[in-house]
Structure 1
Amino acid sequence: MKEKYFLGGYTRRVNEGLTSITFDSQKETFTERELIDTIQNPTYLALSKDNRYLFTIEKEEPFSGVAVYKKKHNDTWIKKNYFYHTKAAGCHLFYLDSKKVLYLSNYHEGTIEIYHLNDDEIKHIQTVTHDGSSVHPNQTQSRIHFTSTFNQDKFLYVCDLGSDKIYVYSLAENGSISHLEQSLNIPAGTGPRHLAIHPNQKFIYIIGELNNTTILCHLKQNGHLEIIESYHNIPTDSHPEATGAAIRISKDGNFLYVSTRYQDQITLFGVDKTSGKLSLLQSISSYGKVPRDFCLSHDEKYLIVAHQDSDYLTLFKRNSESGIISLTDTKAYAPECVCILALNNK
């Protein structure tokens, strides 16, 4: 079985721009990367569910913004539109298919930028600006790092790393933010980076970038969150510069994975489906430098880690019964990669 993955990353050293790579699970090997487009710092990507549109962050001096690519009949991609208007580049993209709306999280400017896609054209419709700060040196201002609706159209969940808050917004019919439903305070110095939702839709997991924790929250019927418990992703005496990066949960809801930069580690937790609580099952080297992102293959028999500084993907084989991963390969070249995104299963 062959699966295509899109690779987003910085273009500070040797990376040329937006690329893709194909994984052959029968041979457990990757093809050489294919260049989609030479652009600056396509650091985060998003796809429409039908795989027709690929969205990327792009830096085009003196501004930054988003670009839209459309799939052609020969499986190549063409840049259809772009919108550059922010001084600093964003850090995360989320696309809501039902409303054809793209959400850009801007860490440096503390904003959520909202765009609407119409006939291949991307149009900016709203900017939401946050204020706030917290106790860590990286929290002198609001720093938006993640948005998602978690497969429903009613609420948008937002991680503000800078103020140690999770915001829950109601959405208007056009996908713009209507009003604030909840502002959940996270323990000071956590730095909420990304969220993952349990398949049973009862629990949300927050990875703390700055204190290397995973926080379990109950997702209530009214869309609000309630903190239940917190877990250490790495030992407290680990690398002093260690910071949390990516978080993923298996489709069966039994296992949660997180990556930690500079500690360069993947941590596996078992998940109690009734309570949502976690138990540590495995801590393993990522076999690279700065594991910024990772993903599970479609059949979840493999876990693929993208490294920002060591320029190669790490392939792990995964035991679906135990969740345990074991090293398989470290030879796939993917320089400065900070985002790996699989084509959607249709």
Structure 2
Amino acid sequence: MEHTFLSHAILNTTTLHKALLNKVINAFYPLTIAAILLTLPACSSIEEQTQNHVLSNQPRQQQNLLIGAFNNAGEAGLFQLTFSPKQATLTKASQAIEAPNPVYLATQNKHQDFFTVVGKKSGGLAHYQFNPNKQSFELKSQLTNINQGACHIAMHPNINQVAVADYATGEVSLFAVNEQGNKKQLSLLDKYTNQGKSITKRQQGPHSHYVQWDRTGKFLYAVDLGTDEVLLFNNSAENHLADKKVAAKLSAGDGPRHMVFHPNMPVVYVINELSNVVAVYQQNEQTGLLSLMQRVSALTLQVKEEQATANFASAIKISNDARFIYAAIRGINKIAVFGVAKNGELELIQLQSTLGNWPRDITLSAEQNYLFIANKRSNEITVLKRDQQNGLLSPTTIKASIPQPAYIGLY
């Protein structure tokens, strides 16, 4: 390189200058060759590092899943599954965990422990921790008789609080998480009971169905199916459900159930159980309020005409790259796949069978190349293959029997 650079630099020089330059080049050139030779081992090291990097990004040999299920007294409610993409199998752990109706979980600490809502008419919260010696989760602490029909739980990004939605009462509860050795004690901080109703038989009173903090942890959102509202609490007053507002009022009869946040933009997606519509909102990052951007059906026109009242949307998830959204629809038992535009708006691109009956919850695999589905009425977990380039789903024969699964997540 130096030889070429110096040669070009003397195109218009005199003969004397050229002679002088040749002496410099002749002296410098062997040093240049030596320097190049000295870099060869370093090149080999870079190649080895590249190979190691490629190996480290190979797909995992297996992935672990936690399932929460509806059950009767004395029956197992928490199940562990191991998914092997290479073997194309879902294997159930030999030891299931007895817990009353653990219908939703919130994991933390790199999934080594989790909180779950438990119980039916007299419900509570429970904390489980993974025991590596037994390769199973053990109950560490719990609260009882604190709600009547808790259906969703969320963990604050700082892992110092949990929030719970109670479907039966319309309550939103906030709990502190206090470290005590290897246990995490829960204590009630505040509780809010919503009021109101809407136009359908399912909406004759408030029904809190989902709670979650936004990306910053500043705002706590609560979705109420009974009042067609997304509520907003300012979490800056950490120990209280302060400054309650209606972040968004949905169309009458929508029946909002769950929501998911865009990972890179202040955009929120609300799935409506009764109308099967996904409502797309712009979040005001200063106030937390939501402004409607778009409403898009999770059903095709043909499905809407043929099965107008028989379908009920449940879970909604977004891919890690934020290019696709997946929504489960009970009744037709399909997954609605949406493409996400640069501004966050959606386009329905596929309706794929869940291969089961009544999909209540879904989750994507760690590598984002599979979708796991908890089918409550067919008592099974089914698996769809996912194309990471175009987002589309395709069937597999992989499945596992689980009684009445309600929640599915990785750990």
Same structural fold, with TM-score higher than 0.5 when normalized by the shorter chain: yes
Query: RCO greater where, 1 or 2, for CA within 8 Å and sep 6 or more?
Result: 1
1:1-346 equivalences under 5 Å are 1-12=61-72, 16-59=76-119, 63-74=122-133, 75-86=135-146, 88-118=148-178, 119=180, 120-222=184-286, 223-234=288-299, 235-239=303-307, 240-273=309-342, 275-343=343-411
CA offset digits 1:85-108 (Å, max 9, x no partner): 245220001011415111110011
Contact kept, 8 Å, 2:225 with 2:255, in 1: the verdict is yes
Deviating more after overlay: 30-39 vs 93-102? 30-39
Deviating more after overlay: 118-127 vs 200-209? 118-127
Q: d(CA) in 1 for partners of 2:153 and 2:306?
A: 31
Give the deviation of 1:305 after TM superposition.
0.6
Q: Which runs of 5+ in 2 are unaligned?
A: 1-60
C-alpha root-mean-square deviation of aligned residues, in Å?
Answer: 1.8
CA offset digits 1:122-181 (Å, max 9, x no partner): 112221110010011101111111111123221001101111111111014535312124
Judging by fraction of residues, say which structure has more helix: 2
Q: 1:28 to 1:111 in 2, by over 3 A?
A: same
Q: TM-score, normalised by structure 1?
A: 0.93
Contact kept, 8 Å, 2:267 with 2:282, in 1: the verdict is yes
Give the deviation of 1:116 after TM superposition.
1.4
Contact kept, 8 Å, 1:292 with 1:338, in 2: the verdict is yes
Kindly provide the amino acid, as one letter, of the partner of residue 268 in structure 2.
Answer: I
Q: Which runs of 5+ in 1 are unaligned?
A: none
Q: Residue 162 of structure 1 aligns to a residue in which SS?
A: coil
Contact kept, 8 Å, 1:295 with 1:303, in 2: the verdict is yes
Contact kept, 8 Å, 1:14 with 1:335, in 2: the verdict is no
Give the deviation of 1:64 after TM superposition.
0.8
Contact kept, 8 Å, 1:18 with 1:35, in 2: the verdict is no
Q: 1:87 to 1:279 in 2, by over 3 A?
A: closer
Q: TM-score, normalised by structure 2?
A: 0.79
Kindly provide the amino acid, as one letter, of the partner of residue 257 in structure 2.
Answer: R
Q: Residue 204 of structure 2 aligns to a residue in which SS?
A: coil
Q: Residue 246 of structure 1 aligns to a residue in which SS?
A: strand
Q: d(CA) in 2 for partners of 1:264 and 1:233?
A: 12
Contact kept, 8 Å, 1:106 with 1:143, in 2: the verdict is yes
Q: 1:53 to 1:331 in 2, by over 3 A?
A: closer
Contact kept, 8 Å, 2:191 with 2:241, in 1: the verdict is no
Kindly provide the amino acid, as one letter, of the partner of residue 276 in structure 1.
Answer: G
Judging by fraction of residues, say which structure has more strand: 1
CA offset digits 1:12-59 (Å, max 9, x no partner): 499621111111122221112443421211111111143232111111
Q: d(CA) in 1 for partners of 2:347 and 2:238?
A: 41
Q: d(CA) in 1 for partners of 2:71 and 2:278?
A: 30
Q: 1:17 to 1:35 in 2, by over 3 A?
A: farther
Contact kept, 8 Å, 1:49 with 1:97, in 2: the verdict is no
Give the deviation of 1:252 after TM superposition.
0.9
Give the paired residue count.
341
Q: d(CA) in 1 for partners of 2:82 and 2:206?
A: 38
CA offset digits 1:246-272 (Å, max 9, x no partner): 001111111111011112111101110
Deviating more after overlay: 327-336 vs 291-300? 327-336
Kindly provide the amino acid, as one letter, of the partner of residue 202 in structure 2.
Answer: N
Kindly provide the amino acid, as one letter, of the partner of residue 228 in structure 1.
Answer: M
Q: Percent identity?
A: 27
Larger-gyration structure (1/2): 2
Kindly provide the amino acid, as one letter, of the partner of residue 162 in structure 1.
Answer: G
